[in-house]
């Protein structure tokens, strides 16, 4: 920290990403990436001719990507906003719909960036505790008269609310934006995209990082009423008009069009999730009913931090959060079947050794 940093920034605690070791020695089950490569259509789309065009700026309107996304989601292009990862879209939304006088409401156990962005932008946080079983009671969000963000399925619990529950929240907060962060929706959740034409206060945020094998490309889509999307564009064009790079625009478009690959890979992950959950339950682990590409699990036989370290020693990285309600739990990304078999073998060695 330099002596020039403002006191506000000096007091900030940034988000801590999961470890990203740059050698390949670990089985990486810690940051909810896909274990599968991008679709062959993506590889073909990001070719030498496109690399040559990198001397030119990318399309600030992202027209071709938006056309593909509109087709896929049954929306019109002006109801969609591409972001540099869904993180950027979430940031744009908080910038647009919250400020010192307009708080953000969210759960105590949820995606860690929400609180970091609130601190960065001086937005007051209204924290709503999850129930004892980590579920969300939607009625706690009724009539809040505040901007709301709900990760659905939630992270790191993996639990999902049905669309009807979100609809109740939308109805009871007609004068405020409800942001639904659907980073994991493709693994068994119920998307709120079909509600967009009914509720002008709904903003749905999705990402290509988890279910479309493009975490490193940085791409997300925010979807909602055209006026909300115009608000997000107002922020984007006040900050970074060329926010999506040329190769990512091509990659995203190809990924959206290859629905067969998308469906096959997310189905494989859901099948591997079911297998892994059963193996863990057989060994006495408690698990939430995860609708995401990770499991959230604990065992009475070892404390969460100790189990995280023991797995790391065996070359397997999982995520452990050192925060009060969830310190006993591990968040385990679903990898390939072979990777999950290696995880189970390592757990047996650790817990029985
Ligand atoms: C991974 C994740 C994000 C961020 O995704 P990017 O598109 O990679 O920025 C946002 N919200 C939740 C809940 C996530 O798990």
Over the stretch 246-302, which tens digit does the pLDDT of each residue have? 999 999 999 999 999 999 999 999 999 999 999 999 999 999 999 999 999 999 999
Q: What pLDDT is stored for residue 20 in this prediction?
A: 84
Is the backbone of residue 188 left (phi > 0), alpha (psi -120 to 50) or beta?
Answer: left
Whether 307 and 283 map to the same domain: the answer is: yes
Atom of ligand 1 lying closest to residue 220 CA: 7
Q: Name the least confident of 6-20, 70-84, 169-183, 238-252.
A: 6-20
Is any ligand 1 atom within 6 A of the Cβ of residue 146? no
pLDDT of amino acid 287: 98
Check whether residue 28 and residue 46 sit in a common domain.
no
Ligand 1 close to Cβ of residue 231 (< 6 A): no
- Determine what percent of the chain is predicted with pLDDT higher than 90: 94
Task: Decide which of 207, 232, 258 is a domain's last residue.
Answer: 258
**Please, what is the average pLDDT of the chain?**
97
Q: Relative to the CA of 83, which ligand 1 atom is closest?
A: 7
Which token pair is 130?
């999850």
Q: Give the end of a domain, one of 258, 289, 320.
A: 258
Give the pTM: 0.97
Identify whether residues 59 and 124 lie together within a single domain: yes
CA dist., res. 14 & res. 1, Å (int): 13
Same domain assignment for residues 177 and 307: no
Number of domains in the chain: 2
Residue 308: give the domain boundaries.
7-37+260-352
CATH number, domain of 56, equals: 3.40.640.10
Looking at the CA of residue 155, tell me the nearest atom of ligand 1: 13
Which of 15, 87, 221, 331 has most ligand 1 atoms within 8 Å of CB, for mutation?
87
Q: Whole-angstrom Cα distance, residue 251 to residue 174? A: 37
User: Ligand 1: does its nearest atom lie under 6 Å from the Cβ of 29?
Assistant: no
Q: Is 151 in the pocket of ligand 1 (CB under 6 A)?
A: yes
185 shares a domain with 164: yes
Q: State pLDDT tens for residues 146-184.
A: 999 999 999 999 999 999 999 999 999 999 999 999 999
186-214: average pLDDT: 98
- Tell me if residue 128 falls in helix, strand or coil: strand
CA distances 212 to 77, 116, 255, Å, are 20, 26, 7
Judgement on whether residues 44 and 33 belong to the same structural domain of the protein:
no
280: domain CATH number? 3.90.1150.10
Q: How confident is the model at residue 117 (pLDDT cuts 50, 70, 90)?
A: very high
Q: How far apart are CA 244 and CA 285, in angstroms?
A: 42
pLDDT over 80 at 24, yes or no? no
Pairwise CA distance, residues 65 & 80, whole Å:
10
**Tokens 């490569």 map to which residue?**
37
CA of 126 to the centre of ligand 1 (A): 21
CA distance 278 to 294: 14
Tokens of 79: 């109801």
Domain contains 158: yes
Is 83 a member of any domain?
yes
Residue 198 has pLDDT above 80, yes or no: yes
Q: Which residues are 204's β-sheet partners? A: 180, 223
Q: Is the pLDDT of residue 241 over 90?
A: yes
């Amino acid at each position: 920290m330099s002596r020039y940093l403002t006191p506000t920034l000096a007091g900030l605690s940034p988000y801590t990403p999961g470890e990203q070791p740059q050698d390949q020695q670990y089985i990486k089950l810690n940051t909810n990436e896909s274990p599968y490569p991008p679709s062959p259509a993506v590889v073909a789309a990001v070719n030498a001719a496109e690399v040559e065009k990198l001397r030119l700026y990318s399309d600030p309107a992202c027209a071709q990507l938006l056309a593909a996304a509109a087709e896929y989601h049954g929306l019109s292009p002006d109801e969609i906003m591409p972001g540099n990862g869904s993180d950027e879209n979430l940031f744009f939304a908080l910038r647009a719909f919250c400020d010192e006088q307009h708080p953000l409401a969210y759960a105590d156990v949820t995606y860690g960036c929400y609180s970091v962005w609130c601190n960065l932008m001086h937005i007051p946080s209204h924290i709503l505790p999850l129930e004892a079983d980590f579920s969300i009671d939607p009625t706690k969000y009724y009539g809040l008269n505040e901007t709301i963000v709900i990760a659905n399925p939630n992270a790191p619990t993996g639990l999902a609310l049905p669309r009807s529950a979100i609809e109740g929240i939308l109805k009871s907060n007609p004068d405020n934006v409800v942001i639904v962060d659907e980073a994991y929706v493709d693994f068994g959740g119920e998307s709120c995209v079909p509600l967009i034409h009914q509720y002008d206060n709904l903003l749905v945020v999705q990402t290509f990082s988890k279910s479309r094998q493009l975490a490193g490309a940085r791409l997300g889509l925010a979807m909602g009423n055209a006026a909300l999307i115009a608000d997000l564009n107002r922020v984007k064009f006040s900050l970074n008009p060329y926010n999506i790079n040329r190769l990512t625009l091509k990659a995203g478009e190809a990924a959206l069009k290859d629905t067969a690959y998308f469906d096959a890979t997310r189905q494989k992950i859901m099948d591997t999730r079911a297998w892994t959950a059963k193996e863990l339950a057989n060994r006495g682990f408690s698990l939430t009913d995860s609708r995401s590409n990770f499991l959230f699990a604990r065992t009475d036989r070892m404390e969460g931090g100790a189990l995280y370290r023991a797995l790391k020693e065996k070359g397997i990285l999982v995520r452990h959060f050192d925060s009060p309600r969830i310190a006993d739990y591990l968040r385990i990304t679903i990898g390939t079947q072979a990777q999950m078999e290696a995880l189970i073998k390592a757990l047996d060695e650790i817990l029985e050794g």
